[in-house]
Structure 1
Amino acid sequence: MRAVHYDAARSFRVADVPTPTPGPGQVLIKVLQVGVCGTDLHIHNGDFNAVFPLIPGHEMVGTVAGLGANVDRFRVGEQVTVNPNVYCGHCDFCLAGRLILCRNAKGLGANTDGFFAEYASVDADLVFSVDGIDPDTAVFTEPSACAMHGLETLQVRPGSSALVIGAGPTGLLLAQLIATGGAASVTVAGPTAFKLETARGLGIENTVLIPRDDAAAATEALLAASPGGDGYDVVVEATGATTVGDMCVPLTRSGGTVLIYGVTRADETMTFAPFDVFRREITIKGSFAEMTSFGAAIAALRAGRARTDGIITHRFPLEEYGTALETLARDKTAHKVVITL
């Protein structure tokens, strides 16, 4: 089968590799589509706990091509997706039920083989049915699950105001879930007009176009757009840009919550005034991927609570994986990039 194969960071080729065979308790999946994520750019550069050699890719939809022994939850031809986040089950965090903090967590497509390939064989307990969901929506299950974990982490107070800075795919998914998860108003901000137009098409009524390189002007515009002019109860950093992170505490109302949701490099830092956090009792939370949110995400996609209309802008075949990465990194017209097989 064909697969993207990395020997080391920034060193990959589309190669012929053996087609996997499902072992006991495994499902063989024919891959249909795989989303290209900002995390894939980090992995390309050797970040985000990447381990090589590696077949990357973690946002997938496919169909069941074969079943290993003792697998009876699926049928051949059924459309499925895979939770790529695997906990060990025996560290102290896992034994305490805090699976997202697993000390030995593995990520399919990050430190063990993923889905930029024609076929993949995975443990059945990681497989979820998305039969009947349009593949262009089902391919967003993993980012929707990450957004669902963000919503679970926030525990939004009913009637709250929320600001999501970042109109990328996961930012828009999280904004929708916050809007249906108790917030009275949700604002999405970003520097790209067409992404904000997509946000409005997905039901986000309040959008603010902010300058890319002027944090002071962006902060002023966002404060002016807040419901009471004094900020938001919830502020989500969904870009991974530290300059955006620096804006979040000043944009948060007293007693409010900042959620760090975007992916940064491990060596990057954000800044805030500790007295401001102390005096105004600001809570700062983090939301990292997910472990147990796939079922809820699929339910939200089926019910239309999280919609994906218009987010996919570019499609490439597997052989053009390099072009897909470059498009995501450099092309200002790109929103969601998908590899089709």
Structure 2
Amino acid sequence: MRAVVFERPHQWAVNEVPDPHPGPGEVRLRIVVTGVCGTDRHLLAGGFMARYPLIPGHEMVGEVESVGDGVEGLAVGDLVAADNTVLCGHCEYCRRDQPLYCQNFYSLGVNGPGGFAELVVVRAEKCFPLGNLDPMVAVMTEPLACAMHGADVLALRPGSDVLVFGAGPTGLLLSQLLLHGGAARITVAAPSEHKLELARAFGVDETVRIGRGDLTEALPRLRALAPSGFDVVVEATGSPDLLAQAPALTRIGGTVLVYGMADAEDRVPFSPYEIFARELTIKGSFAQTHCFDRSLLALRSGRVRTEGIVTDVVALDKFDRALEAVSSSASVKAVIRP
């Protein structure tokens, strides 16, 4: 089969690799579409949990092509969304019912073979049938599952005034969840006007255009919207510069959610006294486990909308275009369709 292979940091190729074969309890999927996200850029740069050589791609939708021994409930031809997380179940954190912190965390497309390929093998219990859901909508299942976990971590108080930095796919999805999860007002701040238009179409209350990592011109508008600060400020871009400015925009007793993934080497200069004296809470949200069922339900019901998010559909051998789209202000979301 053909697959995108990250051979070492900053080097990739589309190679012919052996077809994978399902073992007991596994299925082989023929990939229909796989989403591209910022994590893939971090992996190509040698960050996160990359193990080389790596077939990336963790936002997978595929058709069941063959099944291993003992598989029940799935049949050849079924369309499924694949949960890429594999948990050991026996480490210290799994035993404490904290599976996201699994010390042996294995993630297809991150430190195991993923979906930027024609075929992938997935555990059967990690496959969620689509029913009549369009695969181009279902490709948002994994990013929405991550947003579900972010909403769980945040535990939003009803009536909260929320500011979200970022109108990329994750910012748009998380904003919708918080909108339906009790927020009295959602403000989205981002550099790209066409992404802010999407945010407004999805129902957010206010949008503010900002510079990339620079709030200089936008600060008066943000302060006018919430003179005492926002109850919650979500940094969903991975920008250390924006995160550094989040506490000053947060109400006394409020919460900053670190949702976007920055580089491991990035540092943010917080004032410990400000966190102490204003009793601010800083939370982090990393990936997801056991959120796929809720994610699919929200997509099926239309409670979370996705139209307009996928802007670039790219073939395997044009993977460079997908990488360009991830960092382009002109694109929102790229997907690979082998």
> TM class, shorter-chain normalised?
over 0.9
Equivalenced residues, count: 338
- Partners of 1:271 and 1:308 lie apart in 2 by 35
Q: Measure the CA separation in 2 of the matches of 1:293 and 1:136.
A: 19
- State how far apart, in whole Å, the 2-side matches of 1:291 and 1:84 are: 9
Q: 2:308 aligns with which of 301, 307, 310?
A: 310
Confirm whether residue 79 of structure 1 aligns to residue 76 of structure 2: no
Deviation of the 1:12 alpha carbon: 1.6
2:336 to 323, 335, 339: 339
Name the Cα RMSD after superposition. Answer: 1.2
What secondary structure is seen at the aligned counterpart in 2 of 1:7?
A: strand
> 1:280 offset after TM fit, Å?
1.6
State the TM-score, normalized to the length of structure 2: 0.97
Provide TM-score, normalisation by structure 1: 0.96
SS in 2 for 1:197: helix
2:117 partner amino acid: A
CA distance in 2, matches of 1:184, 1:77: 44
Q: Sequence identity of aligned pairs in percent?
A: 47
Contact 2:214/2:242 (<8 A) preserved: no
8 A Cα contact 1:9 1:44, kept in partner: yes
Quote how far apart the aligned CAs of 1:332 are: 2.4
Q: 2:284 aligns with which of 283, 286, 291?
A: 286
Q: Distance in 1 between matches of 2:214 and 2:27?
A: 50
Q: Secondary structure at the residue paired with 2:237? A: coil
1:337 alignment partner, SS class: strand
Q: Give, in whole Å, the separation in 2 of the partners of 1:201 and 1:218.
A: 21
Displacement after TM superposition at 1:213 (Å): 5.0
Could you tell me how far apart the structure 1 residues matched to 2:223 and 2:116 are?
Answer: 42
Match of 1:246 among 244, 247, 254: 244
Query: Which amino acid letter does the alignment assign opposite residue 333 of structure 1?
Result: A
**Structure 1 position 216, deviation (Å):** 3.5
Contact 1:245-1:271 at 8 Å conserved across structures: no
Number of the residue aligned with 2:153: 153
For 1:9-158, list aligned pairs within 5 A: 9-158=9-158
- What residue number does 2:186 align with? 186
Change (3 A) 1:332 1:216: closer
Tell me the distance in 2 between the aligned counterparts of 1:208 and 1:131. 38
Instruction: Name the CA distance, whole Å, in 2 between partners of 1:217 and 1:258.
Output: 22
Instruction: Name the aligned partner's letter for residue 98 of structure 1.
Output: Q
Structure 1, unmatched stretches of 5+, are none
In structure 2, list runs of 5 or more residues that go unmatched: none
2:175 is matched with 175
> Can you list the C-alpha shifts for 1:92-125, whole angstroms capped at 9, x where unaligned?
1110001111122112111111010011111112
1:323 and 2:321 matched: yes
Confirm or deny: 8 A CA contact 1:26 1:71 kept in the other structure: yes
